[in-house]
Structure formats: structure tokens, C-alpha cells
Structure 1
């Protein structure tokens, strides 16, 4: 009986040792993969942007607004970002005082303040991956989509207006 207990204990210890080795290997492999992805993302983010002015817009929504986003790239970096909504008459949502008052009273932030925050965050991050502006979730989603398209256009040097659907 003692032999069986000793044998079972040795078998259990062996399995534990092998499992520990496997976990160490898996952890090391996962760590290497994570580092490779980080390097790849960094290289992609650092891809040389071609100097110029780039514009993207969406189609008109149900309320008659389309997102318009223009960036300026200088020295391979985004130096300026201007995001807004425009109606069929060319009026900008950020300049519509009544709309901004209503939005701020309902969501806690005006369209102008939200777009200013997004523009600033984008230029600072040099990335479309910015934080969602509380009270302007839909606008942030549109911003991220147009910003990503603009970064791609700037990497290619495509200065034609991009129209997103």
C-alpha cells in the first residue's frame, strides 16, 4: 500500500513539474507574441504620413447632418484636426447655438466642446483610437471612423476627399 501511495505521489509530482514547465513555456510564448504585436502596432502607428491636407465625410444622417473631418499633416505628423457636422446648406453644427444649448442640457456637453475634445485628443495621440467623449458617443464613433480613414489616406498620400457610408 505504501508503494502505491509513493508511486502515486511521484506520478503526481511529475505531472505537476511538467505542467509548470508547460505553463512557463506558454507564458513565454504569449509574452513574445504580445511584444511582437506591440512592435507591429508601434511601426504601423509610426508609419510615415505624407504632408498635406486630407478630408473625409459621411453621408447625411436622418436628421440632415453629415460628418466632415479635415486633418493637416506636416513633418509626418497630424498637426491639425477639424471635425464637425454640416447640413445641406453648409451650416456647421458646432456653430448652431440652439443645437449646442439643447445638446448640453440633455447630455452635459455641447457639440462644439465634444468635437474640440476629440480633435485635441487625436492630435495628441496621433491615433484614431481616442477615448469616447461622454455625452457624444455617436459623434465619437463617427470621429474614429473618419480619423482612421484619414490616417490611411495620409499614409498613402491620397488627398482626394474620402466618402464613408
Structure 2
């Protein structure tokens, strides 16, 4: 009798344990479904959200930042930035008035409606590429806000500079970095002559292509360089160095710094590449949050 009673109690315990386990699984599934439903409904999580496009071949890019408070968009701004100066496009640095008008109009419309589907992209003509970028970036921001993928700034806003300790072949390297919203928005690396000196430049044809000699090498001509003059294709014949400067600028802005920077795509002018990385690290020493 006691044995039978013991078996009955054990059976009841096992059944109860199974019921509790199933209930827990149902609860977990329900919670996951609720999260998915929240995303599907487009409910926004309070916080700051940012999207920054890669630097284009034209040396500019789009960036937008959005604040969400109490589940609603409280502020939004889309800008297009010049990579070298870190300045937002404006009438003083950008001569495409239609493009500026489109940016202003789209910002105004979205801040009023808070709904990309209600934005009239035909309200202002022109700047088709900007309109496409604006819509894509807004959708990316809304997706981040629905998932709660908040943005955390990496650096303190401001301008940061660093200069190489010594010149190389008469040229001294320097970098200027602009940070906004915790992001590197502008990077200008340049080298300037520390004294008057003679140099060479490559000769270009009418199509702006280097003229080559019988030996297959670019034809050069002598030039006089003044102290303080920036290195450029007008006074320097090693064009690969210029290309490396441009590529490194893009890489560092896109990567928002030099940490874990993939430089495999940048070949040639190794010393220039190394100097840029070292100076950027030096300039940003006091900028990290």
C-alpha cells in the first residue's frame, strides 16, 4: 500500500514538473512574439539613433541623427558633409542650389510628418540621389529605433590636430580632424614644405592624364616650391602618395577612427599611410569618451 502511494505521489510530481516546463516555454515564446509585434508595429524605443553613409567618390556623404522620446520622434536632422573639411554643405561651399533646397525641404517635411510615407519627394525638383539617400537613411533609422539599437558616441565633439615630429624630404605632415555627434565627419591630412626648395611635377595632357615618355614613366618638369606650400600634383611627382592620402581619408572617416582599420586595400606609399595613422591616433588621444 505504501509502495503504491509513493508511486502515485511521484507520478503527480512528474506531471506537475512537465506542466511548469511547458508553461515556461509558452511564456518565452509569447515574449519573443511580443518583441516581433512591437517591431512590426513600428513602435520606437527611446534613445539616440545615427546613420552615416560611406564617403563617396565625390568626397562627400550623408548622415542623419534622430532622437526618440516617449516613443515619438522628438528631433531629426539629415545633412550632407564634405569629407575634407567636415562642413555641412551650404551655399558658401557647395554650388548646387537645387541640392541644398532639397535637403532643407525634406528635413522640414519629415520633422512635420514624422512619417517617410507622407513626405512628398516631388515638392522640390532635382537632387535625385539625395532623395534616394534620404529615404533609405530614414528607413534605416526607423528600423534601428524599432529594435532599440541606440547610438553611443565615441568621441567628444570638436576639432583635433596633430603634427609630425620631423619633416621627410622637406615635407612635414599634419592632420586636422572634425568630430560631430561623436563621429569623425572631416579629416584633412596634408604635408607642407618646411623651406623653399626645388621639386618636380608630372606633366598632364588635355584629358588630365599623365604624359608618359619612351621609358613608360610619367614625364616631369622642374618646379620651385615655397615654404608653407602644400604638397599636391602641382609640385610633387609621386602621384601614388596623393592617392594614398585620399584613400586613407575615406577609410578613417568610414571606420570612425583607426582602431581595427583594414588598410589592405591601400597599397603603395607605405610611409605616408603609416604617418597618417600615427597622426590620427595622436590627434584623437584626448577625444575619446
Does the alignment reach a TM-score above 0.5? Answer: yes
- State the Cα distance separating 1:87 from its structure 2 match: 2.3
Residues 118/44 of structure 1: CA separation in 2 closer, same or farther (3 Å cut): farther
Task: Name which one, 1 or 2, has greater alpha-carbon Rg.
Answer: 2
Provide TM-score, normalisation by structure 2: 0.35
Structure 1: 4+ residue segments shifted above 4 A: 43-46
Count matched residues. Answer: 112
Structural mapping, 1:109-148, within 5 Å: 109-111=98-100, 113-129=101-117, 130-132=119-121, 133-148=124-139
Provide TM-score, normalisation by structure 1: 0.59
Pair 1:151-2:146 in alignment: no
Q: Does the Cα contact within 8 Å between 2:64 and 2:76 map onto a contact in 1? A: yes
What CA RMSD, in Å, does the superposition of the two structures yield over aligned residues? Answer: 2.4
Residues 44/131 of structure 1: CA separation in 2 closer, same or farther (3 Å cut): farther
Q: Which protein is richer in helix relative to its size?
A: 1
Which segments of 5 or more consecutive residues in structure 2 lack a partner in the other structure?
Answer: 1-37, 153-253, 255-289
Q: Which has the higher contact order (CA 8 A, sep 6+)?
A: 1
C-alpha distance in structure 2 between counterparts of 1:44 and 1:117, whole Å: 28
Which segments of 5 or more consecutive residues in structure 1 lack a partner in the other structure?
Answer: 1-42
In structure 1, what is the equivalent of residue 87 of structure 2?
Answer: 91
What CA deviation, in whole Å up to 9, does each residue of 1:43-86 have, x standing for no partner? 97852211111100111112101110111112211121111111
